[in-house]
Amino acid sequence: MIEYNSKKLETPQIPELFNAVDHFGGISLFSSQTDDDREYTGINPIIILTEEQLQYGYEKQTISDPMKALDKLISAHSYLPEELSILGYLSYDFKDRLEEKGLYERRTQGIFPDLYFAIFEHYIISGRNENKAEIYTLEFPFDYKSVALNLFPFSKTPEEKISRYKGTSMNKKQHMKGVSQTVKYIREGDIYQANITRAIYGETEFSPVENAVNLYYSNRIAYGVFACIPGGHVISTSPELFFKTEAGHITASPIKGTIMRGNSHYKDDKNREELLQSEKDIAELAMIVDLLRNDLSLVSIPGTVKVPQFPILMTLENVFHLYADVKGELIPGKGTGEILKQIFPGGSITGCPKIRSCQIIDEIERVPRGIYTGSFGKIGFNGDSIFNIMIRSLFQSENTIIFNVGGGITLLSDGEEEYEETIHKGANIWKAIRMENIQEEQYYTEE
């Protein structure tokens, strides 16, 4: 049995929290929204599940089915309080291990593990709206390396630092060719839509914590991540939920369609109406809703998968989005590992139909995506779980950085516009890491 104790804590500052994650190893999931401002942080991983092994402190066991092992790990610790969780992720590259053999080639980026989940020694649960925090410390019944958790202030170095652009997996010409190949596949009936992305490489003078803090303050989002794991650091400012399960119910809330808020009442109303009337955006949202209905149906009781309202307007500080909720009642006994096995990766970052889209993505994108477009999440010991879609994320290994940008390609997509869009999509990241916001082409001479 794992023993635990908990005590109240003064709410740590974000830099302090990230510093502790960086120093001791761990994962922090955060929401930085105005009305939902909180963090859930695990520090010093003790029980670690990766693709091939399960580690208890110093002792390692070989396993054959990590998703089954994940569900076992949860049910074996269901006596722990519901505030505690397993934290971790699946990389996008893991998808081939969840499908019929031979459908996808085996790809792996090789920087971070493709699958990683952990139970930690310390959990800090902090809420900025109520200004309160609690720390849980676990005691394990086997030998492990315990750390005394102390939060120490984070001093920002005063000198001016920058990040440098080092290249991309697809330059403008290659990206435009990829877009036109995708459009050709759509015309020929292979798919209705696919998400085509590219990686941008760089070098940074900032430490991972500095980059994480800068990115944290760059946007208000609900599904952020800062993690220090084998291979390096992961920083995400994802606004997108993949799914959550709660008391036997599963919900996904796909977002499609974006328009800027107007700077006058008149303009604001006009933009809102334009989005609500946009046949293109509504068609794309309908497609992802149908895809998620399908995926949730794989784990839900027949007849329970519903779309209560379509579409719904989301009003944010700077933009309007369209979205819809897809809800289902889970088939009793489905653990999160089993759910992930059935529905991963999230349909909004593959395309539709999903399998053929993933094959086309593998063909067009020149490098494995790694954790990008995978899912980070939290599985409570009561079985409730929440997973994000890993977009708008930065991956740092020492001073090397990678981030990825992309978009959904449809029949009417234009290569030039899609390429421009990939640059805009990265705007917050370019800015936060102080990488020259380049017209990338200037880095290329004609081949």
Partner 1 sequence: MIIRQIDYSFQIPTITAIFLSTMSKNILIVDNYDSFTENLRHLLMQVRPDYKFTVIRNNDRVMFDSHWDGLVISPGPKGPADTGLLKEFFESRVIEEKMPLLGVCLGMQFLAWYYGLRVKPSDDARHGRTVTIDTTGNDIFKGLKDPLKVVRYNSLAIVEPAEFIEEKTALQVTAIQSDSKMIMAIRHRDLPFSAVQFHPESFLTENAEAMMNNFFRDYIDD
Residues that bind partner 1 (CB under 8 A): 100, 103, 186-193, 279, 282-287, 289-291, 293-295, 297-298, 302-303, 305, 307, 310, 347, 352-356, 410-411
User: Least distance (Å) from partner 1 to the CB of residue 302?
Assistant: 4
- C-beta of 64 vs 309, nearer to partner 1: 309
User: Least distance (Å) from partner 1 to the CB of residue 189?
Assistant: 4
For residue 159, the tally of other CB atoms under 10 A from its CB is 5
* Structure tokens that stand for 102 in this block: 């031979």
- C-beta of 276 vs 355, nearer to partner 1: 355
50 closest CA partner among 73, 22, 19: 73
CA–CA dist 17, 341 (Å, integer)? 32
CA–CA dist 388, 348 (Å, integer)? 11
User: Least distance (Å) from partner 1 to the CB of residue 63?
Assistant: 27
CA–CA dist 69, 379 (Å, integer)? 13
User: Least distance (Å) from partner 1 to the CB of residue 355?
Assistant: 5
- C-beta of 109 vs 300, nearer to partner 1: 300
User: Least distance (Å) from partner 1 to the CB of residue 45?
Assistant: 35
CA–CA dist 441, 171 (Å, integer)? 7
User: Least distance (Å) from partner 1 to the CB of residue 422?
Assistant: 22
- C-beta of 55 vs 359, nearer to partner 1: 359
- C-beta of 13 vs 180, nearer to partner 1: 180
397 strand-pairing partners:
400
- Contact criterion met (CB below 8 Å) for 214 and 206: yes
- Contact criterion met (CB below 8 Å) for 174 and 364: no
CA–CA dist 408, 357 (Å, integer)? 11
At 84, which amino acid appears?
Answer: L
* Structure tokens that stand for 366 in this block: 């020149």
- C-beta of 70 vs 352, nearer to partner 1: 352
